[in-house]
């Protein structure tokens, strides 16, 4: 469970987060919607303790990332828009590196790499050096790294970008499996279809503020618009009307 209450963060004169509050429950996939520049990256970085908040409280599985960032990070799978690989390492070596950093031993790493590789359908690239991987292959490797240490919380920033149809389905299966395991998944995305299909809960943020939280149906009902995309646009554009 991830509980965020009135988190604010300013960089000099720029107020990146002006008051973000939400609760992402275990066993649910929570969509994080927001236009570019809404503060998603800042929010995710604050959640893993890379940035310190100015105000408010954050609890991830009951732990404050500012108090014990290591404990929080061990329990987080973090996938951002930066997913550079190490060109001279093979996929397996890459995964080994991050598995070891998360305190996994060799035997469980080997077993787990086999599992994730099967889950994401990446048997063909597991022994290859990652140089020259396509965007989709890179995302898959990064996703595998995210899932590797069985984190209870997942922070995924546009995990489906660049994936082909087969991989997108594989990703969906993986996310469903995580939900069934009782993980808490936050997924930033711009694809409304994905939200409708996968997510039980939606958080909408704009200009550093939480504008709304609720199920896709709830958001549609609240705005009186049947289409989620239109509802999102109306939420972001007319934040005065929302409590």
What is the binding site for another protein (CB under 8 A)?
11, 45, 48, 50-52, 69-71, 73-74, 76, 78, 80, 82-89, 93, 97-98, 100-103, 105, 142, 145
**Residue nearer to another protein on the CB measure, 70 or 166:** 70
Q: How far apart are CA 97 and CA 94, in angstroms?
A: 5
187 and 199 in contact (C-beta within 8 Å)? yes
Other C-beta atoms lying within 10 Å of the C-beta of residue 59: 16
**Residue nearer to another protein on the CB measure, 68 or 181:** 68
**Residue nearer to another protein on the CB measure, 149 or 211:** 149
CB of 42 to another protein, least distance (A): 9
35 and 189 in contact (C-beta within 8 Å)? no
CB of 192 to another protein, least distance (A): 27
228 and 235 in contact (C-beta within 8 Å)? no
CB of 52 to another protein, least distance (A): 7
Tokens 């954050």, located at residue? 58
Q: How far apart are CA 43 and CA 207, in angstroms?
A: 12
Q: For residue 21, which of 151, 239, 204, 173 has the smallest C-alpha distance?
A: 204
**Residue nearer to another protein on the CB measure, 23 or 41:** 41
**Residue nearer to another protein on the CB measure, 16 or 33:** 16
Specify the DSSP class assigned to residue 6: E
Type and span of the H or E element at 157: strand 153-157
Q: How far apart are CA 179 and CA 158, in angstroms?
A: 17
């Amino acid at each position: 469970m991830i509980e965020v209450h009135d988190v604010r963060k300013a960089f000099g004169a720029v107020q990146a987060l002006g008051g973000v509050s939400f609760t992402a429950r275990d066993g649910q996939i929570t969509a994080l919607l927001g236009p570019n520049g809404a503060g998603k990256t800042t929010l995710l970085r604050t959640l893993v303790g890379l940035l310190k908040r100015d105000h408010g409280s954050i609890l991830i599985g009951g732990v404050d990332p500012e108090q014990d960032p290591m404990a929080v990070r061990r329990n987080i799978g973090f996938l951002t828009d930066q997913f550079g690989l190490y060109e001279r390492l093979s996929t397996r070596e890459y995964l080994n590196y991050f598995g070891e950093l998360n305190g996994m031993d060799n035997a469980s790493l080997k077993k787990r790499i086999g599992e994730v590789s099967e889950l994401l359908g990446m048997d063909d690239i597991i022994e290859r050096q990652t140089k020259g991987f396509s965007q989709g292959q890179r995302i898959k490797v990064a996703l595998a790294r995210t899932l590797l240490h069985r984190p209870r919380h997942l922070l995924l920033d546009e995990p489906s970008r660049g994936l082909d149809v087969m991989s997108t389905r594989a990703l969906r299966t993986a996310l469903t499996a995580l939900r069934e395991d009782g993980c808490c998944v936050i997924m930033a995305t711009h694809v409304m279809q994905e939200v409708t299909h996968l997510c039980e809960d939606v958080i909408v943020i704009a200009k550093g503020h939480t504008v709304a939280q609720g199920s896709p149906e709830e958001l549609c009902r609240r705005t009186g618009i049947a289409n989620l995309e239109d509802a999102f646009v109306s939420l972001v554009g007319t934040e005065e009307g929302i409590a």
